[in-house]
Structure 1
Amino acid sequence: MRPPRSLKEEFLKKWQMGLELWRSSGRNTAVADRRKAIKVTADIAMASLRKGTTCWSRALIAKTANSNNYLVRRILSSIQAEGLINKKLPNKTVCHKKILRRSKKATKRSSSSPSSSSSLRRRGNAASKIAKGLVKRKTQGLRNLIPGGELMNNEILLVRETLDYITSLQTQVDVMRSLVDATEAEMSCK
C-alpha cells in the first residue's frame, strides 16, 4: 500500500481536476449543485485511487457514471475508464476454502459434544438464535452503508471492504480538513 502522504496528494489532484472539470462545464452554481459536485468529484477521486480493485470503488464508479459519464471518464483517464465503468459487479462472492473448513470443524465439535441437560441445550439454542439475529441485522445495516455492499454475501469480504472504505473516507476527510485549515489561515492573514 502507498504511503498516506502520497495517497492524500493523489486524491487531492484527482479531486481538484474533477472540480475544475465540473466548473468549466458551465453548470448552475446554486449551493445545492456545488455541494453535489463536491461530493461526486470526491467520490470518483477516492474510487479512482483504488483502481477498481474493490467492490465499493467499482460500485461508486458505476453509480456515478450513469449520471456524469464525461466527468467520470476524465477523472479516470489515467486508468482504464472503459473497463471500470462497464465492469460487472459480482452477483455472489465465494467464501475462502480455509474459512469453510474451520466453520465445518467447529460445527461438528459443537454438535458432537454431550450436553449435561436438555434445558441447558435449549437455553444455548435460544441465545444462539438471538445472537445470530443480531449479527444478521448488523450485517445488513453494514451492507446498506457500503457502496456495492448489497452484492456481498460473504461477511468476511464485507468487513474487508468496509475497512478499506473507512480508510479511504478518512483520507478524504484529512484532505478536506487540511484545505479548510489552509483557507482559514489565509483568511486570518488578510
Structure 2
Amino acid sequence: MQKSSSSALMVKQEFFTKWKKGLQIYSAFNKEMTIMERKRAIKLSADVAIASTRSATTQWSRAVVADVSTSAAGAARIAAEEILGRKLTERRKALASKKIVRRRRKAAARGVVRSSAAAVAKKRVRNRTRVLKRLIPGRKKLDEISLIKETLDYIASLQVQVDVMRHIAAAAETMHQQQISF
C-alpha cells in the first residue's frame, strides 16, 4: 500500500511540474491572453502534461499527443514540445490490430445464432461501448477489453489532474484569505 501511494504522489508531482512548465511557456509567449486563450492554454498544458506522464504506454495518451501535434501552433506547439521533451511529429494513421481483425472474421464466419435476450444484451453493450468510445481519446481501433483498460487508465489520470488542481485552488484560496486579513 505504501508503494502505490508514493507512486501516485510521484505521478502528481511529475504532472504538476510539466503542467507548470507549459503554463510558464504560454505566459512568456503571450502576456495579454483573453479568458478563452487562457482557458485553452490551461487545458492544453494539463492534457499534454498528464499524457506525458504515461510515456505513450496507452492509446489515449498517444492520441492526445497526436492531436496536439496536428493542431497546435505557436506557443501551444512550443509548450507541448517542452512538456514532452521532444519535437512533435505529424500524426500518423493508426493501423488496426491484425488480432482484432482475425477475431472478427472468425466470428462472422461462424454465423453464431443468438436468442432474442442475447441480442438485446449485445445491443445494450454495443450502445454503451459506443458512448464510452466517444469519451476516451484514441478510442477508434480498440476492442472492448482494451477499451476498458484504456478507460480505467484515463480515469486514473484525470483523477491526478483533479487532485493537483484542487490542491492549487486550495493553496490560492488560503493565500487570498491571508491577504484579506492583513
What TM-score do you get using the length of structure 2 for normalisation?
0.80
Answer yes or no: is the 8 Å Cα contact 2:58–2:150 preserved in 1.
yes
Distance in 1 (CA, whole Å) between partners of 2:93 and 2:54 is 15
When structure 1 is superposed on structure 2, of 60-69 and 158-167 the one drifting more is 60-69
User: Where does residue 16 of structure 1 map in the other structure?
Assistant: 20
Letter in structure 1 aligned against 2:157: S
Does residue 1:188 correspond to 2:169, yes or no? no
Provide the residue aligned with 1:36 in structure 2. 40
Letter in 2 for 1:180: A
Show structure 1 runs of 4+ deviating over 6 A: none
Give the alignment's TM-score, normalised by structure 1.
Answer: 0.77
Determine the structure 2 residue equivalent to 1:127: 117
Q: For structure 2, list consecutive stretches of 5 or more residues without a partner in the other structure.
A: none
Q: Distance in 1 between matches of 2:98 and 2:128?
A: 21
Q: Find out whether 1:25 has 2:15 as its counterpart.
A: no
Is residue 53 of structure 1 aligned with residue 57 of structure 2? yes
Output the CA distance in 1 between the equivalents of 2:36 and 2:161: 20
Identity of aligned residues (%): 35
Whether the 8 Å CA contact 1:59–1:89 is kept in 2: the answer is: no
Judge conservation of contact 1:46–1:172 (CA < 8 Å) in 2.
Answer: yes
Q: CA deviation at 1:90?
A: 3.3
| 8 A Cα contact 2:133 2:140, kept in partner | yes
Structure 1 CA distance, aligned partners of 2:93 and 2:150? 14
Structure 1 unaligned residues grouped into runs of 5+: 112-120
More off after superposition, 142-151 vs 171-180: 142-151
Q: Alpha-carbon deviation of 1:93?
A: 3.2
CA RMSD of aligned residues (A): 2.4
Query: CA, structure 1 residues 27+133, in 2 after alignment: closer, same or farther (shift >3 Å)?
Result: farther
Aligned to 1:116: none
- Cα deviation, 1:114-147, whole Å, max 9, x if unaligned, reads xxxxxxx9xx711111110010011011111100
AA matched with 1:144:
R
